[in-house]
Amino acid sequence: METLSLAVWAVASAMAVVSFLWAYRWSHPKVNGRLPPGSLGLPLLGETMQFFAPNPTCDVSPFVKDRVNRYGTVFKTSVVGRAVIVSADPDLNHYVFQQEGKLFESWYPATFTEIFGRDNVGSLHGFMYKYLKTLVLRLYGQENLRAVLLAETDAACRTTLASWAGQQSIELKDGLSAMIFDITAKKLIGYEPSKPSENLRKNFVAFIRGLISFPMDIPGTAYHECMKGRRNAMKVLKGMMNERMADPGRKREDFLDIMIEELRKENPVLTEAVALDLMFVLLFASFETTALALTLGIKLLTDNPRVLETLTEEHEAIVRNRKDPDAGLTWAEYKSMTFTSQVTLEIARIANIVPGIFRKALQDIEFKGYTIPAGWAVMVCPPAVHLNPEIYEDPLAFNPWRWQDKMEITGGTKHFMAFGGGLRFCVGTDLTKVLMATFMHCLVTKYRWRVVKGGNIVRTPGLSFPDGFHLQLFPKN
């Protein structure tokens, strides 16, 4: 018995030593240099719980703010089992974007890759990424915006707002999501609400919550809902692709047809898997992020009457200068919206729809005395820059005039990265600006509104409206 007790004690002691060594190595990884300060938290779990803690304000999350105050603008942490360097430093952020493809490459957590597909555009590099970007710009570039999309967006906004005006209440985020999805899905896949794809949008609803989440495919979790939505959406997209591939005489009508043409080439660069994942990403990115930003924008306008009054004056002047007050919005009118452009930038700065932009270090990188080890993830944190009082005076104030007389932002800058930066600056930026400006034009020139209920926000870390934002619209005339 005594011998057995000694054996059990020895095994227990050995396990304790192994556990201690494992925990020590987790929290003290070997690197060729000096890591930024910070904590990697508990083994495997890291600081994931703190990272996902809800934040009911537009301010920088307590997770980032507390660590910046404690460690400085560059610190280490661990989220969902992965060691990460978090950057709230404008200089490092800019450097990361400018060194894309040289010292850094695009990288996202495993949940992101599983949900958007292993061949999604965010996971592709070099020639393949540039090739896909060129294809997407055929749809979202300024030439097509000017020739086609502006008029279609204007018509959709008019029709949608007119239908809302007859209702006692409209939940703005859902209404905007449906409208924008109809616009973009028509151009992407020839979407018609009467076709089997009419339920396609609902498969994307839970994506903001699930993109950076615990990879637990268990019913009830955000990750499970995302994966379920992906499977359903991919089934629809694959069915559409197979149908069109079997019809060689079909004329080009939408972006999916362009994908089919590329796949039919003698030596295609594109594969079916890449094409399907690209369509999937574009469908999501085209409507959800813009709908969230615009919903917050209308809330900010509602809460700031002076901004709303100045915005309304600009748009009413445009209508007065038309020969036909009911004519559709023109490209010249859109480009003349100086204050509207300032409002859009201010909404994007405060909204911070993308709370983190991920890259991976391709080699050991020295920055201000610290080492970012090869293979480590880097999370650029836009909110920490956009809401920094040393960069933007009174950063939580909705003040579009702060952008007055500033140069037009056509790419990410050191102090503004709402649309990313560098090689991967968002190709949908111009479309987003057109959608927001067009909706605001139609809204403020023809309607007034009152808040029925909701409007509270929560960030976990993505933006959401847990109680919705319910409005009632009234025609001005």
Question: Which DSSP helix (H) or strand (E) runs through 98?
Answer: helix 90-98
Lowest-confidence range among 59-63, 353-357, 454-458?
353-357
> What pLDDT score does 114 carry?
75
- Secondary-structure breakdown of the chain: helix, strand, coil percentages, each rounded to the nearest 5: 55, 10, 35
Percent of the chain with pLDDT over 90: 51
More confident of the two residues 458 and 283: 458
Domains in the chain (CATH in brackets) are: 32-469 (1.10.630.10)
Answer whether residue 4 shows pLDDT above 60: no
Q: What's the whole-number mean pLDDT along residues 199-227?
A: 71
pLDDT at 29 over 80: no
pLDDT of residue 467 exceeding 70, the answer is yes
DSSP designation for 38: B
Mean pLDDT for all residues in the chain: 87
Q: pLDDT by residue (tens digit) across 282-328?
A: 888 778 889 999 999 999 999 999 999 999 999 999 999 999 988 99
Q: Are 78 and 369 in contact (CB under 8 A)?
A: no
Mean pLDDT of 342-356: 94
Query: Given a cut of 90, is residue 416 above it in pLDDT?
Result: yes
Q: What was the pLDDT predicted at 115?
A: 73
Q: What is the pLDDT of residue 5?
A: 60
Opening angle at CA 367, ends 365 and 370, nearest 5 = 90
For the residues 376-389, what does the mean pLDDT come to? Answer: 96
Q: Is 420 helix (H, G, I), strand (E, B) or coil?
A: coil
- Residue 197's pLDDT band (boundaries 50, 70, 90)? very low
Which has more pLDDT, 390 or 112?
A: 390
Which of these ranges, 2-16, 173-187, 395-409, has the smallest mean pLDDT? 2-16
Gap between the Cα atoms of 378 and 443, Å rounded? 40
Residue range 12-28, pLDDT digits in tens? 554 544 444 444 455 55
Predicted local confidence at residue 277, as pLDDT:
87
Q: In whole angstroms, what is the distance from residue 123 CA to residue 234 CA?
A: 18
393 vs 45, more confident: 393
Burial of 157 (0-12, 13-18, 19+ CB in 10 A): buried
CB 237 within 8 A of CB 276: yes
Asked if the model's pLDDT at residue 45 lies above 50, the reply is yes
* Per-residue model confidence as pLDDT tens digits over 425-441: 888 899 999 999 999 99
Of 293, 305, 322, the closest CA to residue 448 belongs to 305
CA distance 36 to 20: 23
Q: Which of 25-34, 73-82, 336-345, 357-366 has the least mean pLDDT?
A: 25-34
Per-residue pLDDT, 20: 46
Q: Is the pLDDT of residue 471 over 90?
A: yes
Q: pLDDT tens, 214-270?
A: 667 788 777 788 788 888 888 888 998 999 988 888 888 888 998 899 899 888 888
Sheet-wide strand order for 469-475: 170-171, 469-475, 447-454
Structure tokens at 215: 């990879």
How far is 192 from 182, CA to CA, in rounded Å? 8
Q: What's the whole-model pTM score? A: 0.89
Does pLDDT of 117 surpass 80? no
Q: 163 or 138, which is more confident? A: 163
Name the DSSP letter for residue 73.
S
Q: Is 58 annotated as a binding residue?
A: no
> What integer pLDDT is reported at residue 22 of this predicted model?
43
Percentage of the chain with pLDDT > 70? 89
Q: Please give the Cα distance from 79 to 469 (Å, whole number).
A: 31
Answer whether 359's CB lies under 8 Å from 100's CB.
Answer: yes
Quick one: three-class SS letters along the chain?
Answer: CHHHHHHHHHHHHHHHHHHHHHHHHHHCCCCCCCCCCECCCECCCECHHHHCCCECCCCCCHHHHHHHHHHCCEEEEEECCEEEEEECCHHHHHHHHHCECCCEEECCCHHHHHHHCCCCHHHCCHHHHHHHHHHHHHHHCHHHHHHHHHHHHHHHHHHHHHHHCCCCCEEHHHHHHHHHHHHHHHHHHCCCCCCHHHHCHHHHCCHHHHCCCCCCCCCCCHHHHHHHHHHHHHHHHHHHHHHHHCCCCCCCCCHHHHHHHHHCCCCCCCCHHHHHHHHHHHHHHHHHHHHHHHHHHHHHHHHCHHHHHHHHHHHHHHHHCCCCCCCCCCHHHHHCCHHHHHHHHHHHHHHCCCCCEEEEECCCEEECCEEECCCCEEEECHHHHHCCCCCCCCCCCCCHHHHCCCCCCCCCECCECCCCCHHHCCCCHHHHHHHHHHHHHHHHHHEEEEEEEECCCEECCCEECCCCEEEEEEECC
pLDDT number for residue 107: 86
Q: Mind listing the pLDDT tens digit for each residue in 149-175?
A: 999 999 999 999 999 998 999 999 999
The predicted model gives 7-12 an average pLDDT of: 52
Q: Which residue has the higher pLDDT, 3 or 332?
A: 332
Q: Is 115 exposed, middle or buried (0-12, 13-18, 19+ CB in 10 A)?
A: buried
Query: What is the token pair recorded at 274?
Result: 């890449």
Which of 57 and 8 is assigned the larger pLDDT?
Answer: 57
Please report which residue ranges of 190-329 form alpha helices under DSSP H: 207-210, 222-245, 255-263, 272-303, 305-320
